[in-house]
Structures are given as C-alpha cells and as structure tokens.
C-alpha cells in the first residue's frame, strides 16, 4: 500500500471576477516525488502552487499537509531588500537546529559567495540567492516557480545537480524543456481549470497531451453529428406530441447544452506566427575579422573571427555578463569594435528582438505599438491585415487592443515583442533571449517559424533544448574574452567541449570550412592541419585535405538520393496513417508504433541528408583544389 501523500489538494476552485481559473484541480505530492506542473501561460499554474504553499486560500476544495512536513516555496520575484548580504538572506530561512554551513555551501554551489549586497544583485544572482534560501532547510517539499528565470546555462546546469542530489519532493514550473526532462518523474497538466496526471516525466508529456486533445476532438465531432441527426428528425420526423417524442426533443436540447459546454471548454487556439520576409540577401551576410571589445579593464571579446552565410543559424551561449549581447551588437553593426572589422553582405534587412524589451513604451497601447501609432492595419508579406486579426495570431483578445503595455504579463509582453519583430521585413533575424516567459506551445511555433525562415538567424538563449532544435552552430564563451564556434546545437557543443559552458574546455571544436574562433587575426588555428573531414559535424563547414573520395564515400554519394526518396515516401505514408483522428482512440498500440516509426524515419532522413551534403561539399572542394590556379 502506497504511503499517504505529504500534501494533497483536492477539488480546488478559484475564480478571478467572473472567469473561473481553477475548477476541481487536484495535486498530490508524495515523499521524494519529482513532479513538473505544466500548462499554458495564464492557466493558473502559479496560483495552484501558491495554494499548495498556503499563500492563497481557494474558494472551494481542501488542502491537507502531513503534520510536521516542511514546505519551501520559490516565488517568481523574490525580495531581498531587508537583508544586508545574500548569506544573511539565506540564513534567515533556516529553522532552529539547521546547519548554518549548508547556507554557505548552497550559495557557493550556485555561484555566489554570500557577501553580495542585495541592492547590487542582477536578476540571475537574486534568483540564485532565493534558490539557496529555499533549499537550505532541506525541506520535505520544494515548490519552485520558474527557478531557471534569469539564470545562464552554467547556473541552470549547476541547479540541476543540486536538485538531483536533494532528498526533497519537487514540484517544478518551468518553460525550459531540458530542465523538466532531466528532473521530472511525473507530470501534472493544468488545462482549462482541471488537472490530469501522467506517471512519467516531461519527455513523455507532449505525445500524451496530443492524444487526449485528439480524443476530445473526435468526441466533439461525434456530438455534432448526433445533433445534426436529431435536428433533422425535429424538422421532418413524426409529430412531437407523444411522450416518447417529447423525451427525444428534451434530449436534443440537452445535447445542444453539451455542445455549448464543449465549445467553452475547447482547448485554446495556438499562436500563429508568420515572418515578413524581405528580398533575399547576398550569400555572404557577415564577416568579422579579429574584432575585440573592452569595457574598463575587462576584455569581453578578444580577436574573434567568423563568417556567416545566408541561411546560417548561429546561437550564442555563455554565462551572464560574458558579453553575448555585446558580441551580437558588434556582429550586426549596432556597436563599433575597438579593434578588427566587420564586413556586411548586400541587401541586408535586420529585425531585432531585444531581451530588455526597451522598444516597448509602457504607456502605449498594444495596437499603437504594432502599427506605429498610425492606422489600424499592418503589412505582412505584402498583404494588408487589420490589427485585431494580427493580434489574434499572438493570442491577444480584441479588447486588449487599447490596453497599455504596462499592465501586460511577462508572457504577453514576450508575444508582443515577437509580433513586433516579425512584422518588419527582414532577411536577418536577431533574437536576444526570445524564449523568456513564453509557454511551451508558443516555443514550438517559434521553432517551426525559424526552421522555415529562409534568411539568417542570430540567437542568444539559455534554453538548451531550443538551441538544439534551431541552430546550426554555437558560439560559446570560453572566458577572458575568448569565443569559439562549434558545429551543431548545444548538445553537439557539449560533446565537443567535453562539458557545458560552465566547465573548462577539454575537447576541440569540430572542423569548419572557415575556422571561426577568437584566435587573433592573422594567426592560423593550431588545429586546422590535423582535422579530418570525417569528424565534421556540420557539412557546411568541413576542411578537405583529401585528394579524392574513398570507394565507400563514392557509393554513399551515389545511393543517397534514392535512399532519401524512399525515406520521404515512408514519412508521407506514416503521416497519412497518423492523420486519422480516430486511430489513437481505436488502437493506441498502432498509433504508438506508427509515431515511433515516423520519428525513426525522420531521423534516418536527416542523417542521410547530412552525409550526402557533406560528401557533395567534400567533392566540390576536392574538385576546386584540383583546378589550376591562374
């Protein structure tokens, strides 16, 4: 028999005004459990967590806590103003008998010394101090609301290690997929006021959620068909004077009521993003040679060189304060380097999303911000659209058109910044922390948009999963102003470095067609002569010291197109199978088998395409090297 839960919320109901936020929500937390609480922005996740912490009283339902169980809650915006140092703030959270040395240990584990003054802390440092205070008493239950906000990648990975070693039960709210996948063992989905629980970690959540939504859509379709049949009987059937027919008429009215409820409870429509594309840029977009930047006595960028071509997607990662924004500003011409030079290609149209959201006037309305204060239309891809229609694509309601920006939530401001950046014609997108405050569904749509974007993308982000899904190379800070480019996404960078950005580099970057490291201009990289193209992770950036392709490579180059055609046909067939909305309800095993086969076929196709592109470019380089020099 399972032990009783440490904390149990049952049938929780809460409304704001006339709008119900929670209606029968349930949350059970057992000893040592690792739960993630997921749902859209505004679904009530933070409110439910505050009810669990005892900070908010629900209108209905019950809250039970095991006698003696200790609970610690991490708020999204912690306040340290009443304390002289971070150590004093953390020690204030200790109970009598707790080990004071644990406070210092946790502060150091999270990158603080304990001597920092709260008034001088950045957002990330404030978050780390609050995490240390919540963890210091070693509570039975830890309730963490967006613990990764304002943290850099190194801090997030350090926090994962601390939480993994903790004995506390965890409830996590986060938009960081990798963080949730690494820590969660069960998932609670808060949707339309109710909770559903999956006894698996976040990695299995999305397929499970999609199956539930498909079942709901099938049930709605059946209900609509039944109502159509009953309405046909009402118009053309027998007289409704008999009791049996009167009962049938009452059933029809009941079915109509069910449809009204179903429509009201229908899942919220997703964000619809489209980018306003400018004319195609030249093939060469940005070339930096030996650029450097120093502030005071600190060197943020030292001798960095890179070539960015049309279609490249370059991610920048590093600790907070390493100079990511400084580097990206130099690469886009917004900031002059102290040394070196940056050359730009032809016909560039740059659209920028600023992480600080300085472009937003808090007093201005949503509509005025998107239209520039003139008219009520925007031009997207040459088509004129009414501002209300464009706002709906980003989940804004018509009544929010005149709402001042200062009253919007963090997620709404994030969506507004995306709507603003994507409304301008561009062939270069510069996105500085675009994932802040965005829910998982919006991140999915943004990822798909970037995948289809024909231009060039420069991306600063601490979201490891988002980087893996979107970029073709990573420029990572190695400390002391040194930046090195690695082929592939964040996970590829970790394999090449031998660790994340918070660890010393052990490996070497994958070979590239043009070496892109912060080696001083004019100095040949020491690794260039020794690298083999077979080890290259990105086909666009390989070196070629070979004189000809091997027989095996020639065979692969010859057979790859037919193999890609076969895989493409198989993917189309499987997509057709999964397009059946009744498949999941009829045969879940067949649905799972088809979904796994589709995932494998897509991975195989990507692998074959990668190898074919590598060999094509390798063959071109061999041919170019063999041509006589004039």
pLDDT digits (tens, 9 = 90+) for 437-467: 777 877 887 888 788 788 899 999 899 999 9
DSSP SS3 for 351:
strand
Question: Quick check: 314 and 308 in contact, CB under 8 A?
Answer: yes
pLDDT digit string, tens, across residues 148-161: 888 888 889 888 98
| Residue closest to 45 by CA, chosen among 150, 187, 145, 177 | 145
The closest of 131, 148, 172, 165 to 29, measured between CA atoms, is 172
Contact 33, 87 (CB under 8 A): no
d(CA 380, CA 424): 8
Q: Which two tokens stand for residue 478?
A: 């190695």
Q: How far is it, in rounded angstroms, from Cα 278 to Cα 308?
A: 18
Q: Please answer whether residues 510 and 496 qualify as being in contact, where contact means their C-beta atoms are separated by less than 8 angstroms.
A: yes
Residue 383: helix, strand or coil by DSSP? strand
Q: Is a pLDDT exceeding 80 seen at residue 547?
A: no
Q: Which of 478, 563, 609, 469 is nearest to 177 (CA)?
A: 469
Give whichever of 265-269, 414-418, 496-500, 530-534 has the largest mean pLDDT: 496-500
pLDDT of residue 288: 94
Q: 217 to each of 212, 220, 376, 442, 571, how far by Cα in Å?
A: 9, 5, 35, 21, 24
The average pLDDT across 137-154 equals: 89
Percent of the chain topping pLDDT 90: 29
Task: Dihedral sign for Cα 107, 31, 183, 463, please.
Answer: negative
135: pLDDT strictly greater than 80? yes
User: In angstroms, what CA-CA distances link 416 with 134, 360, 395, 405?
Assistant: 33, 9, 10, 9
308 falls in which pLDDT band (50, 70, 90)?
Answer: very high
Q: State the Cα–Cα distance between residues 382 and 374, nearest whole angstrom.
A: 18
Q: How confident is the model at residue 233 (pLDDT cuts 50, 70, 90)?
A: low
Segment 406-418 shows an average pLDDT of 77
- Residue with the larger pLDDT of the pair 629 and 471: 471
**Predicted pLDDT of residue 359:** 65
Percent helix, strand and coil across the chain, each to the nearest 5:
40, 20, 35
Crossing angle of helices 243-264 and 205-236, in 10° steps, is: 150
pLDDT, mean over the chain? 80
CA 448 – CA 421 distance, rounded (Å)? 16
Separation of alpha carbons 182 and 521, rounded Å: 40
Cβ neighbours around 386 below 10 Å, total: 12
pTM: 0.68
Residues contacting 553, CB < 8 A, separation 6+: 615, 618
Q: What's the pLDDT band for 258 if we cut at 50, 70, 90? A: low
* CA dihedral sign, ordered 35, 40, 41, 44: negative
Could you tell me which residue, 422 or 239, shows the higher pLDDT? Answer: 422
pLDDT at residue 530 in the model: 30
| Average pLDDT of the segment spanning 87-93 | 89
- Residue 543 pLDDT greater than 50, yes or no: no
Of the ranges 79-83, 171-175, 230-234, 482-486, which one carries the lowest mean pLDDT score? Answer: 230-234
DSSP of 194-242: EEEEESS-GGGHHHHHHHHHHHHHHHHHHHHHHHHHHHHHHHHSS-TTS
**Distances in Å between the alpha carbon of 371 and those of 354, 387, 517?**
18, 7, 41
Mean pLDDT score, 38-48: 87
What pLDDT, on the 0 to 100 scale, is given for residue 539?
36
Confidence of residue 357 (pLDDT cuts 50, 70, 90): low
Q: How is residue 38 written in tokens? A: 């997921």
Q: Which residue has the higher pLDDT, 57 or 100?
A: 57
Strand order across the beta sheet in which 141-145 lies: 71-74, 141-145, 169-173, 34-38, 186-191, 194-198
| Pairing mode of beta strands 34-38, 169-173 | parallel
Alpha carbons 518 and 478: distance in angstroms, whole number: 10
Beta strands in 505-546 (DSSP E): none
Tell me if 503 sits within 8 A of 497, measured CB to CB. yes
User: Predicted confidence band at 423 (pLDDT cuts at 50, 70, 90)?
Assistant: confident
pLDDT exceeds 60 at position 200: yes
């Amino acid at each position: 028999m399972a032990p009783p839960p440490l904390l149990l919320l049952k049938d929780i109901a809460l409304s704001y005004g006339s709008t119900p936020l929670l209606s029968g929500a349930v949350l059970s937390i057992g000893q040592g459990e690792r739960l993630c609480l997921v749902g859209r922005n505004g679904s009530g996740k933070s409110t439910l967590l505050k009810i669990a912490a005892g900070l908010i009283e629900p209108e209905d339902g019950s809250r039970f806590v095991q006698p003696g169980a200790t609970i610690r809650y991490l708020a999204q915006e912690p306040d340290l103003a009443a304390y002289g140092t971070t150590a004093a703030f953390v020690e204030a959270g200790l109970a009598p008998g707790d080990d004071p040395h644990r406070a210092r240990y946790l502060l150091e584990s999270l990158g603080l010394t304990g001597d920092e003054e709260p008034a001088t802390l950045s957002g990330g440092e404030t978050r780390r101090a609050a995490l240390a205070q919540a963890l210091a008493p070693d509570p039975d239950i830890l309730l963490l609301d967006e613990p990764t906000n304002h943290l850099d990648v190194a801090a997030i990975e350090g926090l994962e290690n601390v939480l993994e070693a903790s004995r506390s039960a965890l409830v996590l709210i986060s938009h960081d997929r990798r963080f949730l996948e690494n820590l969660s063992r069960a998932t609670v989905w808060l949707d339309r006021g109710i909770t559903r629980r999956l006894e698996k970690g976040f990695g299995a959540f999305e397929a499970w959620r999609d199956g539930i939504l498909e079942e709901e859509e099938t049930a709605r379709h059946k209900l609509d068909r039944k109502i159509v049949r009953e309405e046909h009987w009402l118009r053309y059937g027998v007289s409704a004077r008999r009791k049996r027919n009167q009962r049938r008429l009452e059933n029809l009215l009941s079915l109509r009521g069910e449809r009204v409820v179903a429509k009201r409870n229908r899942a919220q429509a997703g964000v619809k993003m489209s980018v306003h594309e400018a004319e195609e840029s030249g093939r060469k977009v940005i070339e930096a040679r030996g650029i450097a930047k120093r502030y005071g006595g600190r060197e943020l960028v030292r001798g960095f060189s890179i070539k960015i071509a049309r279609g490249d997607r370059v991610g920048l990662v590093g600790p907070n304060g390493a100079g990511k924004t400084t580097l990206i500003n130099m690469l886009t011409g917004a900031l002059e380097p102290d040394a070196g030079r940056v050359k730009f290609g032809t016909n560039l149209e740059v659209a920028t999303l600023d992480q600080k959201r300085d472009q937003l006037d808090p007093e201005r309305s949503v509509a005025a911000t998107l239209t520039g204060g003139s008219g009520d239309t925007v031009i997207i891809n040459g088509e004129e659209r009414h501002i209300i229609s464009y706002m709906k694509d980003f989940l804004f309601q018509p009544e929010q058109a005149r709402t001042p920006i200062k009253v919007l939530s963090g997620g709404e401001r994030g969506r507004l910044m995306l709507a603003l950046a994507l409304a301008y014609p561009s062939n270069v997108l510069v996105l500085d922390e675009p994932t802040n405050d965005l829910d998982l569904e919006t991140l999915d749509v943004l990822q798909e948009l970037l995948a289809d974007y024909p231009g060039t993308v420069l991306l600063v982000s601490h979201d490891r999963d988002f980087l893996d899904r979107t970029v073709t190379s990573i420029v990572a800070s190695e400390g002391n102003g040194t930046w090195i480019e690695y082929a592939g996404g964040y996970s590829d960078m970790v394999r090449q470095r031998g660790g994340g950005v918070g660890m010393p580099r052990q490996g070497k970057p994958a070979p590239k067609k043009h070496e892109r490291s912060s080696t001083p201009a004019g100095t040949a990289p020491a690794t260039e002569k020794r690298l083999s193209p077979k080890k290259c992770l990105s086909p666009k950036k390989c070196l070629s010291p070979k004189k000809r392709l091997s027989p095996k490579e020639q065979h692969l180059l010859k057979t790859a197109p037919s193999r890609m055609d076969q895989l493409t046909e198989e993917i189309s067939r499987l997509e057709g199978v999964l397009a059946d909305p009744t498949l999941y309800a009829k045969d879940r095993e067949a649905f799972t088998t088809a979904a796994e086969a589709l995932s494998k076929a897509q991975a195989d196709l990507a692998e074959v395409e990668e190898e074919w592109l590598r060999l094509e470019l390798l063959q071109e380089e061999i041919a170019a090297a063999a041509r006589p020099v004039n």
